[in-house]
Amino acid sequence: MYVLMCPCITDPSLRVEGITSEADLDLFSRARARCEHFGLDVVTLPCPETLYLGRDRSPGTFLERLNTPVFSRLLEDLEMEVRDLILARGPPLCIVGVNSSPTCGTTTTHYGSVDGSPSKRPGRGVFLDRFPDIRVIDVTEFALYKVYLAAPLFSEAEKTFNRKISDLLASHSFLVYLPQDVGDDTHCRDGAEHQYIFESHVRALDSTDLLVAVIDGADADSGTSWEMGYAYRRGIPVYAVRTDFRIAGHHELVNLMLEQSSAVARSLSELPVLMNSPYI
């Protein structure tokens, strides 16, 4: 299994001058780390802009710098190279792109202004646009793969369900922190153990990319609710799983504060879709 990755993710020096931040480099590193951790081969796409304009180039839109017959022919040749690779290896899991790029943008691209329109427009860059049959995920999403699983963990049934969710997420190349695996889970644990468990979970929350919370039941578990609130306040995306058919009101599945601070999946099969898994 492999992903096609835009070249500046594997070699940031290919980017135009002055646009790469430390946050960008961190995202690129985490995207590569996800592939390495889960054994996903990385096949780097060619960089049309570098081949056409060279490494030392200033920022510019497609219309300003690349809208030429020569560049169009170059794109055709590079597409054929990639198509031949796909024919030999089979279809990739996805393409990991970089938003706003004139060639490798995912949902927006610096295309250029036409008759006073905004320079940035919706859609893929001109190179990735040649592969409409292949799913594209922006590196800012692909790099978010560390998951904290918040859920009640006080019975064998709850622990089994949590493990099922963890295994499901792992099969979609998410790295899961499972609180039930940390510390003493018996009723005889002392204050020192309480402090250890609390500090371990907070550290994991502080370093996670995403939080998945189980909010089944007549009311959501109090510890889970605390973890959801903590993650939301820190700007960590929260995904909730609600398989319980009971509702809290005419327009509420569960407590509105939890529902409004998360994206809610109504089944386990819906969860990876909601999280934009590369395997969907």
What lies within 8 Å, CB to CB, of 219 at 6+ separation is: 254, 255
For each of the domains in the chain, give its residue range(s) and CATH number, in order of start. 2-142 (no CATH), 146-274 (3.40.50.450)
Average pLDDT on 186-215 reads 89
Asked whether 213 and 188 are in contact (CB, 8 A), the reply is no
Q: Considering only CA atoms, which of 32, 25, 30 is closest in space to residue 5? A: 32
pLDDT at 108: 96
pLDDT tens for 54-68 read 998 889 999 999 999
| Single pTM value for the model | 0.91
Is residue 248's pLDDT more than 80? no
Is residue 21's pLDDT more than 70? yes
Give the separation between CA 253 and CA 259, rounded to whole angstroms: 7
Return the percentage of the chain with pLDDT > 90, whole number: 80
Mean pLDDT, the chain, integer: 93
Q: What is the DSSP string of 111-172?
A: ---STT--SEEES--TTGGG-TTS-EEEHHHHT--EEEEE---SSHHHHHHHHHHHHHHHHT
